[in-house]
């Protein structure tokens, strides 16, 4: 599916997430340090879709977790909506962070099995007192769970994988995010669900001007979805540019290998 989505351009000058010279190391079992992320700088603008691609172990998820504040960088800083998150007091951080929502691959683990869909959504609506049942129903309709009344009292084990992923997207939307950091959100799903969830994410981007940092090892998703692509190898960004540039005329040998491995008309 070609990317026919130039709507971000209106806001492309407005930096939303800024990772500045971020590094992160972990202790390796041998006692040394393993450099998972090395001096990475990356910006996601308002309304923009940036795909972060690279092979398994290249550091993509670590970078996503740093952006979300789930991990602290050893060096460098993270800013969101012109506020520096690194070193921010936790109570202020929590508030800012509601505008930056994650969607993870494993929606089963992301949803508390003891809470119904209604409870999960109500929990996410805590910042908007008075918004209740009607808002939950609207959110479910927005993510294609129709009629919403059929889904609102279910528990996560009573939903299919695709429906669970939609509920976790609805829960993220309840926070009215400006940025969604999606870490391999489609890799657990079968092909038909992947297409549906991808289309849903694109609809959300268009209708709500939400920006995405889309973490994926799958070049075909970047091709279908992204405005810009950043390519990560061994903790570093080795190539970055418009999706068109990077995917049709890759400059780095590593990107050339990744692109060559995927047929141009590959479906997602
Ligand atoms: N908490 C941790 N402690 C030690 N090493 C870690 C930790 N988290 C990640 N790593 C290591 O850092 C490297 C990068 O991992 P990361 O999950 O960021 O890569 P990735 O590109 O997202 O891979 P995948 O696509 O397989 O999820 C890996 O070698 C991983 O083993």
Confidence of residue 188 (pLDDT cuts 50, 70, 90): low
Report how far residue 18's alpha carbon sits from residue 216's, in angstroms, rounded to the nearest whole number.
Answer: 19
**Residue of 203 and 152 predicted with greater confidence:** 152
- 186 C-alpha to center of ligand 1: Å? 19
- 183 C-alpha to center of ligand 1: Å? 13
Confidence of residue 81 (pLDDT cuts 50, 70, 90): very high
Average pLDDT, the chain: 87
57-61, 142-146, 223-227: which has the highest mean pLDDT?
57-61
Residues 97 and 108 sit within 8 Å (Cβ to Cβ): no
Q: 31: helix, coil or strand? A: coil
pTM of model > 0.90: no
Confidence of residue 75 (pLDDT cuts 50, 70, 90): very high
Query: Ligand 1 pocket check: which of 35, 54, 59 to mutate, most ligand atoms within 8 Å of Cβ?
Result: 59
Helix H or strand E segment including 50:
strand 49-53
Q: Relative to the CA of 27, which ligand 1 atom is closest? A: 4
Residue 130 pLDDT more than 80?
no
Q: Where are the domains of the chain?
A: 1-99+182-268, 105-176
| Whole-number pLDDT of residue 66 | 96
Confidence of residue 218 (pLDDT cuts 50, 70, 90): confident
Q: Which of 238, 242, 222 is nearest to 182 (CA)?
A: 222
Q: Relative to the CA of 235, which ligand 1 atom is closest? A: 14
CATH architecture type of domain 1-99+182-268? 3-Layer(aba) Sandwich (3.40)
| Whole-number pLDDT of residue 220 | 87
Report how far residue 93's alpha carbon sits from residue 147's, in angstroms, rounded to the nearest whole number.
Answer: 36
Helix H or strand E segment including 245:
helix 243-248
Percentage of the residues of the chain whose pLDDT score is greater than 70: 90
The residues lining ligand 1, judged by C-beta closer than 6 Å to any ligand atom, are 26, 34, 36, 54, 56-62, 217
Residues 112 and 120 sit within 8 Å (Cβ to Cβ): yes
Q: Where are the alpha helices (DSSP H) in 48-184?
A: 60-67, 90-97, 107-110, 117-124, 133-142, 161-174
Q: Relative to the CA of 62, which ligand 1 atom is closest? A: 18
Phi/psi of residue 124, nearest 5 degrees = -75, -20
| Whole-number pLDDT of residue 1 | 45
Can you read off the two tokens belonging to residue 204?
């959300």
Nearest CA to ligand 1 atom 8: 62
| Whole-number pLDDT of residue 129 | 61
Can you read off the two tokens belonging to residue 256?
């050339």
Q: Which of 65, 101, 68 is nearest to 85 (CA)?
A: 68
- 138 C-alpha to center of ligand 1: Å? 37
| Whole-number pLDDT of residue 15 | 96
Residue 43 pLDDT more than 60?
yes
| Whole-number pLDDT of residue 121 | 92
Report how far residue 92's alpha carbon sits from residue 101's, in angstroms, rounded to the nearest whole number.
Answer: 16
Q: Relative to the CA of 61, which ligand 1 atom is closest? A: 22
Confidence of residue 140 (pLDDT cuts 50, 70, 90): very high
Residue 16 pLDDT more than 60?
yes
Phi/psi of residue 245, nearest 5 degrees = -60, -55
Residue-wise pLDDT tens digits, 241-267: 999 999 999 999 999 999 998 766 544
- 36 C-alpha to center of ligand 1: Å? 7
| Whole-number pLDDT of residue 247 | 93
| Whole-number pLDDT of residue 266 | 44
Percentage of the residues of the chain whose pLDDT score is greater than 90: 54
Residue 128 pLDDT more than 90?
no
- Say if strands 211-216 and 49-53 run parallel, antiparallel, or are unpaired: parallel
Residues 5 and 206 sit within 8 Å (Cβ to Cβ): yes
| Whole-number pLDDT of residue 41 | 98
Nearest CA to ligand 1 atom 25: 56
């Amino acid at each position: 599916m070609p990317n026919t989505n130039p709507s971000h351009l209106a806001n492309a000058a407005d930096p939303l997430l800024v990772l500045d010279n971020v590094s992160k190391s972990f202790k390796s079992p041998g006692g040394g340090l393993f450099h998972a992320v090395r001096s990475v700088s990356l910006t996601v603008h308002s309304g923009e879709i940036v795909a972060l691609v690279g092979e398994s172990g290249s550091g993509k998820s670590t970078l996503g977790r740093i952006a979300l504040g789930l991990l602290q960088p050893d060096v460098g800083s993270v800013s969101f909506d012109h506020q520096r998150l690194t070193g921010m007091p936790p109570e202020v951080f929590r508030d800012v962070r509601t505008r930056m929502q994650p969607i993870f691959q494993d929606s089963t683990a992301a949803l508390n099995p003891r809470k119904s869909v209604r409870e999960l959504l109500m929990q996410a609506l805590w910042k908007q007192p008075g918004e209740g049942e009607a808002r939950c129903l609207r959110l479910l309709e927005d993510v294609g769970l129709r009629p919403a009344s059929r889904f609102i009292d279910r528990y996560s084990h009573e939903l299919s994988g695709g429906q669970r992923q939609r509920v976790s997207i609805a829960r993220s939307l309840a926070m009215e995010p400006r940025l969604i950091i999606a870490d391999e959100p489609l890799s657990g799903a079968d092909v038909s669900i992947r297409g549906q969830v991808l289309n849903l994410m694109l609809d959300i981007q268009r209708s709500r001007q939400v920006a995405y940092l889309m973490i994926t090892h799958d070049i075909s998703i970047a091709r279908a979805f992204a405005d810009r692509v950043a390519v990560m190898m061994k903790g570093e960004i080795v190539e970055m540019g418009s999706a068109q540039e990077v995917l049709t005329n890759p400059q780095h040998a590593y990107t050339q290998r990744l692109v060559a491995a995927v047929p141009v008309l590959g479906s997602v």
